Amino acid sequence: MGNVIANSKGSKLGCRMLARAQELTPLLIDLRRNIHQNPELGFEEVNTAHQIVRTIEQNAQGVKVSTIAGTGVLVVVGDAPSVLLRASIDALPIFDLKQTEYMSQISGKSHACGHDAQIAALVGATILLSEQESPPNIACLFQPAEEIDLGAKAVLKADVIQQFPLRAVIGFHGHPALDAGCFGVSSGPVMACITTVQCRIDGHGSHGAEPHLGADPISSLAALISDWQIALARRVDSRESVVLSVGKVEAGTTANVIPSSASLDATLRYLNPNLSKTLEKIMEDIARSVEMKFDTTIHLKIDRMVPALVNDAAVTTYVSNGVIDVVGRQGHFSATPSLGGDDFSFYLATIPGCYFFVGERQKERLAYGWHDPTYDIDEKSITFAAAVLAMAGDNASKGGR
């Protein structure tokens, strides 16, 4: 790895944090690569948790380590934490198609969303915070099962963090469109509400040459998809970010038989939480309209899986100051909201917080995104992220600088 240079425009403490993070970099990269080679899916992260615990117990000072939500890890620095720092630790059911010495050794599983780097960064921040002369009161959460939207719920169900006097929660995610040493931070909505749409259309089967003797669920399904897109474009303010993507369609067995049923699965994403009821009404209205047009019956199931992620202005200021403390103002950028989602938003229902983006783009690559089967990072990002997390947590625990 190339040298990471402390920025002279950062604060003195921020520069010290970055310098110490650089000393930890070989340890953190080794941890990241070991976890990258051995990815584990949601609630299966047993070895991952073991590596986190072992690294922290061997390198952090005076911390209290425990398990949470089955395969998660909770580390307390100081006493009575007022701030929670959170990283996700699970992998994805995606084949790793890149060719590196640290590529996944588990067929069909990979860290294609960079959670391995999140782990390394938060382990680094935990060590940095524990080494302070007067360690701040901070809890570091290594959360399982983010990719299946169940991890945050399991943590909250454990009723552990609710016992802490928390006034801020801070989460983060690597971003492959930002360079290492750059951070995207903004208040307000930054990640979307995740709503799943499941639909079964019942018609009446017939010969393909005699559609008038049946009720065609495939034509009904095609019209439903098209009409939904048109209605969303015309009944929702065009300044709102809304997207409906149909990812799965099933119908029929052969070319000359109109089947009795068809089905689809879709995801509906939007940033403005106030749109929920409006969007659901549009989906229902169109379904009823298509039913009448094709004489089919549409069974529609709409589930709000994860709420929109909306950053608190005050906590965002603590994070912004942490970024500037470490890398200076030239490394601080406004975060572009994403229609991806993260179950971090469940914590924000009761605790003000901020979720920010860490630049980790590999400069030699063409544009790539999350869940790419060749996903990889610029490992310098881990060093910067560890220092920024530590500074942001320290700022928030003190209520500012």
Q: How confident is the model at residue 400 (pLDDT cuts 50, 70, 90)?
A: low
- Residue 5 included in any domain: no
Q: Quote the pLDDT of residue 2.
A: 44
% of the chain beyond a pLDDT of 70: 97
Strand partners, 204: 215
Put residue 301 in one of left, alpha, beta given phi > 0 → left and psi -120 to 50 → alpha: beta
When the pLDDT of each residue in the chain is averaged and rounded to a whole number, the result is: 96
Q: Quote the pLDDT of residue 10.
A: 74
- Residue 6 included in any domain: no
- Residue 2 included in any domain: no
Q: Quote the pLDDT of residue 364.
A: 85
- Residue 7 included in any domain: no
**Domain end position, chosen among 277, 305, 333:** 305
Are 151 and 57 in the same domain?
A: yes
Pairing of strands 261-270, 138-143: unpaired
State mean pLDDT over 179-202.
98
Q: Quote the pLDDT of residue 199.
A: 98
Query: 3-state DSSP call for residue 276?
Result: helix
Are 80 and 152 in the same domain?
A: yes
**Domain end position, chosen among 247, 282, 305:** 305
The tens digit of pLDDT for each residue in 30-56 reads 999 999 999 999 999 999 999 999 999
Q: Does 7 have pLDDT greater than 70?
A: no
Please state, as a whole number, how many other Cβ atoms lie within 10 Å of the Cβ of residue 208: 13
Are 106 and 147 in the same domain?
A: yes
Whole-prediction pTM: 0.94
Are 394 and 371 in the same domain?
A: yes
Are 132 and 233 in the same domain?
A: no
- For residues 93 and 105, give the distance between their C-alpha atoms in angstroms, rounded to a whole number: 13
Are 292 and 317 in the same domain?
A: no
% of the chain beyond a pLDDT of 90: 95
Are 63 and 133 in the same domain?
A: yes
- Residue 264 included in any domain: yes
The tens digit of pLDDT for each residue in 118-144 reads 999 999 999 999 999 999 999 999 999
How open is the CA angle 12-15-17, to the nearest 5 degrees? 110
Pairing of strands 242-251, 193-202: unpaired
* Beta strands in 259-318, from DSSP E residues, in sequence order: 261-270, 297-306, 309-311
- Residue 322 included in any domain: yes
Domain with residue 72: its CATH number is 3.40.630.10
Are 283 and 360 in the same domain?
A: no
Are 61 and 172 in the same domain?
A: yes
Domain with residue 233: its CATH number is 3.30.70.360
**Domain end position, chosen among 305, 338, 354:** 305
Backbone angles phi, psi at 263, to 5 degrees: -150, 160
Contact 316, 185 (CB under 8 A): yes
Q: Does 272 have pLDDT greater than 90?
A: yes
Contact 115, 42 (CB under 8 A): no
C-alpha closest to that of 271 among 240, 302, 244, 246: 240
Query: 3-state DSSP call for residue 209?
Result: coil
- Residue 3 included in any domain: no
- Residue 373 neighbours by CB under 8 Å, 6+ apart: 94, 95, 96, 97, 98, 110, 112
The tens digit of pLDDT for each residue in 334-362 reads 999 999 999 999 999 999 999 999 999 99
Q: Quote the pLDDT of residue 6.
A: 43
State mean pLDDT over 178-191.
97
Residue range(s) defining the domain that contains residue 266: 193-305
Are 298 and 318 in the same domain?
A: no
Are 134 and 217 in the same domain?
A: no
- Residue 4 included in any domain: no
Structural domain count, the chain = 2
Q: Quote the pLDDT of residue 399.
A: 86
Are 88 and 120 in the same domain?
A: yes
Q: How confident is the model at residue 203 (pLDDT cuts 50, 70, 90)?
A: very high
Helix, strand counts (H, E) of the chain: 8, 16
